[in-house]
């Protein structure tokens, strides 16, 4: 069996993705940065599903640290079929109160790191062929002004364009590249206090996102590429 890498897999949505994919029979590599105790717990939960599950530490804050991660990853887990780019810092600020340092950090984690990792793993993924899935955010394709989390939205919009571009570039290798974009989840740091005011009267569940990712990785979804699928309960309609 080939490996599936999930970045930011130690907590929250990343943890749910790892556990759902393990339940579906995928051998998982769980990336983490600082959350060592949490990642060990996720690893053990995945192993209880009868699959292989390993962990790898990686700092994505600079180009150099991402390059170092990619070299170590390929040395240990060269036989990789799928990549889920889940990691990405979140910042609630409009543009003019966002510092240059914060702006660059958001783009590094949400765009530059997924690009570098996808580029490094692409030849291995093409050997199978497998899939790349990027995590976005609901509302990217509405093209409305965003003064709530400007840097984050800009980075995710750029990641959407990268998703579509990679999908077109890699389709001849039968590698599929898609984006999954959640809305408010019940684990969201900015979840409204009154969930009943959300369009469907509730927040989403992490498993509703991870189940879609499992579908996109499965041969059932083998003719889907270059798409951005929202799991948002109609939030941005």
* Conformation bin of residue 228: beta by default, left when phi > 0, alpha when psi is -120 to 50: beta
From the list 13, 20, 18, 41, the residue with the least C-alpha distance to 29 is: 18
Task: Provide Rg for the chain, Cα atoms.
Answer: 17
CA distances from 168 to 44, 108, 162 (A): 37, 23, 10
Tally the residues of the chain: 237
26 is catalytic: no
State how far the Cα of 66 lies from the Cα of 59, in Å rounded to an integer: 7
Catalytic residue among 26, 32, 73, 152: 152
State how far the Cα of 39 lies from the Cα of 102, in Å rounded to an integer: 26
Reading the block at residue 236, the tokens are: 């941005």
State how far the Cα of 163 lies from the Cα of 157, in Å rounded to an integer: 10
DSSP label of 51: S
- The residues annotated with a catalytic role in the active site are 152
């Amino acid at each position: 069996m080939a490996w599936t890498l999930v970045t930011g897999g130690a907590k929250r949505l990343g943890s749910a993705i790892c556990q759902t994919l393990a339940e579906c029979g995928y051998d998982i590599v769980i990336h983490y940065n600082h959350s060592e105790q949490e990642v060990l717990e996720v690893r053990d939960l995945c192993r209880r599903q009868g699959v292989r599950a390993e962990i790898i530490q990686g700092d994505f804050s600079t180009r150099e640290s991402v390059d170092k991660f990619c070299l170590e990853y390929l040395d240990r887990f060269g036989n990789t079929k799928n990549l889920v780019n889940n990691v990405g810092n979140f910042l609630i600020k409009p543009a003019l109160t966002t510092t240059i340092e914060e702006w660059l950090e958001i783009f590094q984690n949400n765009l530059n790191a997924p690009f570098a990792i996808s580029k490094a793993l692409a030849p291995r993924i093409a050997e199978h062929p497998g899939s790349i899935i990027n995590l976005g955010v609901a509302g990217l394709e509405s093209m409305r002004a965003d003064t709530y989390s400007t840097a984050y939205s800009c980075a995710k919009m750029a990641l959407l364009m990268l998703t579509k571009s990679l999908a077109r570039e890699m389709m001849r290798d039968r590698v599929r590249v898609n984006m999954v974009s959640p809305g408010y989840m019940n684990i969201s740091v900015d979840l409204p206090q009154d969930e009943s005011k959300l369009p469907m009267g509730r927040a989403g569940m992490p498993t509703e996102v991870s189940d879609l990712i499992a579908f996109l990785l499965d041969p059932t979804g083998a003719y889907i590429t270059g798409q951005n699928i929202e799991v948002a309960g109609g939030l941005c309609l």
